[in-house]
A = this chain, B = another copy of it.
Amino acid sequence: MPDTSPRHIRLTSHAGGYGALPIRWGAPTAAERGPIVGTTSKPSHRNVIGTHSGSYSVYRALAVAAGALSREHKPDLTNTSPTDFIGPYPQWTDPARIVSLDPWGARVAEVFAGEIAAGYDIRPTIAVTKAHVILPEVIDALQKGRLKADGTVLTPGGAAMVTKAAIEPVWWLPGVAQRFGCSEADLRRVLFEETGGMYPELVTRSDLEVFLPPIGGLTVYIFGNPQDLANPQVELTARVHDECNGSDVFGSDICTCRPYLTHAIEECIAGAQRGGVGLVAYSRKEGRALGEVTKFLVYNARKRQAGGDTADQYFARTECVAGVQDMRFQELMPDVLHWLGVKKIHRLVSMSNMKYDAITQSGIEVGERVNIPDELIPADAKVEMEAKVAAGYFTPGHVPDTDELKQVKGRGLE
């Protein structure tokens, strides 16, 4: 007799009158896949490790501790459903294609209405809304004539019309392990040990295959019709951007993060206006996912080293402090593109070879790569840019050699 459910175990605890529902990752329909249940009020219903809201679960716990929030509170989802239809796409039911988010996460109130009515606390892990975004750099582009208002994609006042989605991480551990080339058992053990013992269930509950990690998620901004993202005939301009608070918000001149982001938004608006669609995916991976403390330590080490802040030592200084050059692991990044149904990116506004490789290796075609215009690179950011170009970043221009890298030098700490 074949084992029809080799991995998943129907839990039999019935403290709440019924037990946990199974998750069959990648199953052909939402009903067969089953809901993600991370509730803390009915432990017998849980079918995941961890809980909702990423890191903010800690604040939720504080709210309960402070007596401000009832632990029994269930969200009232009235009127919260997505403003736009996204999917389902064939990519949603391919267990290898999406492993770090729940493709049904925006539609739980609809696709798991029966389970919610039966008393399960099922929460959206994705929310889709509409917004008007007003960036000074876009207003500048309007004033200088690089962009024109059309009243649809861009207003005369400089507001761009977007659909946006916030996405929390939902990790299917067997698939995540496969992406990183390790066994699921090793991934679970290392996640437990190297966080100082977070979630022992990672090692004790191999029947629970889904983990809601306490990390930041991502946000997508869509310029134009979201359904066009899945149509390879419609020109797609896209940037996948990793958070850099110091530049994205405060405009630090040591890197190109905000200038490249706002350039991408300008390209997305222009692309949508000529009948295409634009996409910015923004991931909470501050300082290459090393965190901002490490990032600032590296800044000091770069600017104080013998010979000054030169491009040839750029990666070495990060590695001395952090042990690696980068912890962003673009391996999981393409999941959001598959959630949106993307098959082809006509214009990828990124020079990163790591992002390019991850996207193309996941089966998405990439056409043109759009570099940041030279005039948008702050003087002090040339160190980073030249070091990256020498290390394999896409450039339509010259790739510096070792001697040239030594000559590219940033400001000291003064």
Contacts and interface: CB of A to CB of B under 8 A. Distances in A.
A353 interface: no
A296 B196 CA distance: 33
Contacts of A305: 79
A285 B133 contact: no
A219 interface: yes
Contacts of A382: none
Interface in A353-380: 378, 380
A252 B131 contact: yes
B249 A248 contact: yes
Interface string A160-187: 0000111110000000010011100011
Interface in A258-294: 258, 261, 282, 285-286, 289-294
Contact of A250 (B64, B135, B195): B135
Counting every copy of the chain, the complex holds 2
Most buried by B among A63, A199, A249: A249
Interface string A4-25: 0000000000000000000000
Contact of A213 (B58, B216, B327): B58
A65 B182 contact: yes
Interface string A320-358: 111110011100000000000000000000000000000
A15 to B, nearest CB: 14
A357 to B, nearest CB: 15
Contact of A190 (B56, B64, B73, B186): B64
A1 interface: no
